[in-house]
Amino acid sequence: MIDPVVKSKCLPAYVVIDTSSSMKPQEQLLNETVDHVFDVLGNSPRVSEFAHISIITFNTDAHVVLEMADIDQVANLPMITCEGTTNYGRMFQLVKQRIDTDVTALHASGRAVLRPAVFILTDGAPMDKNWAADFGSLTDKIFRRRPHIISYGFGTANPAVLGKIATKAAFIATDVDNEKEAIVSMLTSLLNTLVTSASAQEFRIPEQADGYERVPIEFVD
């Protein structure tokens, strides 16, 4: 009897960053910190084998900055630029589209694909009014590939909104005036989550993030 082939596990992870004009003063720091996170992850074979990462930014529209990729195959990251307003609806639409595309491709490559993880960083409230329907479509139980979502907010982000757009954990920065620290802490939390998840070979939800406190979430699966 031939033993069945054991597929290696893979976690599709999406780093979703608010790049509206209010983030412009932190644009350079944002790029430098994202670069650092990828450098660290790329030098960890266990993480780079386990986690595949895509970067999506959103302002007036949503954009795929980095398509789903093996971390150790990313030579250079595109520059992130900040402009426009904060719209959530188009972002949720794009995340759902990319999940369908990426999970299909990862399955085709022979991987055992875990439920996707989405990490959202925002410094403000949404300007569009009808985003809840798009969020509902992304997280609806009939969407078999619906992701785990963790939200991080700082600046003028609304804790109640952060709770509404998270399915697993929501965090708000405790020092509203220290945006630099909030960005670095969020991406450090992302890094630690992926390292821990890779070691466990399953998605591990962060219990805390330095400089943030947890807020209640309204949606649970």
Average pLDDT of the chain? 90
Q: What integer pLDDT is reported at residue 185 of this predicted model? A: 92
Q: What integer pLDDT is reported at residue 219 of this predicted model? A: 47
Amino acid at 1: M
The residue ranges of every structural domain in the chain are 9-215
**The pLDDT of residue 220 is above 50:** no
Domain 9-215 classified CATH 3.40.50.410?
Answer: yes
**The pLDDT of residue 169 is above 90:** yes
- pLDDT, mean of residues 185-189: 91
Measure CA 167 to chain center. 12
Do 108 and 7 contact (CB within 8 A), yes or no?
no
Tell me how far apart the alpha carbons of residues 40 and 78 are, in angstroms, rounded to a whole number. Answer: 17
Could you report the per-residue pLDDT of 139-158, keeping only the tens digit for each? 999 999 999 999 999 988 99
Question: 123 by DSSP, 3-state: which?
Answer: coil
Any residues with CB less than 8 A from the CB of 92 and at least 6 apart, and which?
131, 134, 135, 137, 138
Of the pLDDT bands very low, low, confident and very high (cuts 50, 70, 90), residue 221 is very low
Q: Which residue has the tokens 């982000």?
A: 157
Question: Rounded to 5 degrees, what are φ and ψ at 210?
Answer: -55, 130
Do 83 and 19 contact (CB within 8 A), yes or no?
yes
What is this structure's pTM? 0.93
Could you report the per-residue pLDDT of 18-31, keeping only the tens digit for each? 999 999 999 999 99
Tell me how far apart the alpha carbons of residues 162 and 171 are, in angstroms, rounded to a whole number. Answer: 7
Whose CA is closest to 25, among 151, 158, 182?
182
Of the pLDDT bands very low, low, confident and very high (cuts 50, 70, 90), residue 6 is low
